[in-house]
Amino acid sequence: MENVNLKRKVTLKRKGDSVDQQPEKKPNKLIWVGILGVVAVVIFFGINQFGNKGGKDLPANVQMPAETLVQQDSEVEPIAAGENEQTATEIENNEVTVHNNVSEESSSSEDVVAQKTNTTNSSNDSKSTVHESSPKNNTSNSGTQSNSVTVAGSIDEKAIKVIRGDFGNGTDRKDALGIEYDAIQAKVNELYRNKND
Amino acid sequence: MSEVTLKKKVTLRRKSDSALFTFDEKLQIDMKWSTNTDLDLCLFWKTKSGEIGGVFSDGFRQNKQDLGSLENFPFIEHKGDELAPKEGESQETIRVKSIDSLSELYVVVLNYEKAIDSIPSTFQEDSGRVEITTDKGDNLEVLVDAEESGHVYVVCKIENSDDGKKAINMREVMTLGQAFEKIPGFELICN
């Protein structure tokens, strides 16, 4: 006898919630938004740090590259002759006072230059003085220098100190060098040119 | 200034009534009903290469792609499932941008609420109407009001042939089993 099979009863798929009504995977989106936020903050602070390194907020003991110094010097306008009479007078007097014990810092490059300055000035019959007014320098390591060091000496010596960063940058340097600013700056530029040649 | 004449609205009332229609990029199928039941508007088709498919509520298979797309194949989109009307009318809409690759389409109304619970019903009790409008001004209306018992109502069949596009009033009530066998693509919403 032939087998007879009943047809399978057809039933509908039961409708669930619409796909739109199902909970979305918001946590994943939130995580990504959070990650992007953190990255944005890191980039923001990174840019700020980078900007500070190239700006005026450099610590006193960090020397800027020589090329940067020259570039900044060229942007500074010359000072009027009578604008900084006090500084000019000090330079004219060429008074040199050593307040610190030089022997304590004799190993530093700063002192090597200072000693050379003394030698040179004595041979030129002019009194040179290394004046370290900052109390920090009394306790600082030999590798650190303060911008508050004021040195009177020849144009060449001052040019070297400018390159070394002793007089700071921009207006500070212009104030410190006074009426000799132009001459010293010209010497600085000359030294750089010679160095580059 | 040329005179503008609106095309007359054509209502297909008798079985096998047919009407030619044309459209460029927009054919819209609306089902409206006011009875307190969950009707579903579905569109099933067979392509010219013999494949079957359909657009229907994404609730059947939990698949949003079942709603279709106007930008990609099938260039037909179901606007989303609607439940029984709380007040006034409910409406479900299917938009068609192109049927160039399809040979025949079936506009189907499903009395889901009664079918899922196996409650006998007629579309005279749970009636509605289907309107087909085109961007060429054609406007066809088919009433869903058959007396026969069944949960599937094949409203009309759209034939796409070299002779043009034609809507044929089917007005045929089927059981789920009959629809499963006769309507290409209906199996997609069955277990």
Which residues in chain B have their CB less than 8 angstroms from residue A10's CB? 175-177, 179-180, 190-191
pTM (global) more than 0.80 = no
Which own/partner contact pairs does A21-25 have at CB distance under 8 Å and 24+ positions apart?
Answer: A22/B62
Quote the minimal CA–CA distance from B40 to chain A in Å: 11
Length of chain B as a residue count? 191
Q: For the residues A168-178, what does the mean pLDDT come to?
A: 83
Quote the minimal CA–CA distance from B37 to chain A in Å: 14
Which residues in chain B have their CB less than 8 angstroms from residue A24's CB? none
What's the mean pLDDT when you consider all of chain A?
A: 59
Residues 6 or more apart from A87 whose CB is under 8 A from it?
A175, A176, A177, A178
Side chain identity, residue B134: T
Which residues in chain A have their CB less than 8 angstroms from residue B186's CB? none
Any A CB within 8 A of B79 CB = no
Which residues in chain A have their CB less than 8 angstroms from residue B59's CB? 15-19
Higher-pLDDT residue of B9, A76: B9
**Interface contact A15-B112, CB threshold 8 A:** yes
**Interface contact B190-A11, CB threshold 8 A:** yes
Q: Which of B58, B64, B116 sits opposite A12 (nearest CB)?
A: B116
Q: For the residues A151-166, what does the mean pLDDT come to?
A: 81
Quote the minimal CA–CA distance from B165 to chain A in Å: 31
Q: Which two tokens stand for residue A45?
A: 């602070």
* Complex ipTM > 0.95: no
**Interface contact B190-A16, CB threshold 8 A:** no
Q: Are A95 and A153 in contact (CB under 8 A)?
A: no
**Best of B78, B121, B180 to mutate (most A CBs within 10 Å, chain A):** B180
Q: How far is CA A177 from CA A83, A85, A167, B91, B185, in A?
A: 12, 11, 8, 88, 93
**Interface contact B191-A19, CB threshold 8 A:** no
Residue with tokens 């900007």: A51
Please state which of the ranges A62-66, A97-101, B66-70, B113-117 shows the lowest mean pLDDT. A97-101
Quote the minimal CA–CA distance from A36 to chain B in Å: 29
Residues 6 or more apart from B70 whose CB is under 8 A from it?
B76, B77, B95, B97
Q: How far is CA B132 from CA A190, B82, B127, in A?
A: 90, 18, 17
Higher-pLDDT residue of A27, A159: A159
Helix H or strand E encompassing B139: strand B139-144
Quote the minimal CA–CA distance from B189 to chain A in Å: 6
Any A CB within 8 A of B80 CB = yes
Buried b (16+ CB within 10 A) or exposed e, A86-98: ebbebbeeeebee
In order along its 191 residues, chain B shows pLDDT tens digits of 555 555 566 665 666 666 666 677 788 999 999 999 999 999 999 999 999 999 999 999 999 999 999 999 999 999 999 998 888 899 999 999 999 999 999 999 999 999 999 999 999 999 999 998 888 777 888 889 889 999 999 988 888 888 888 888 888 999 999 999 999 999 999 98
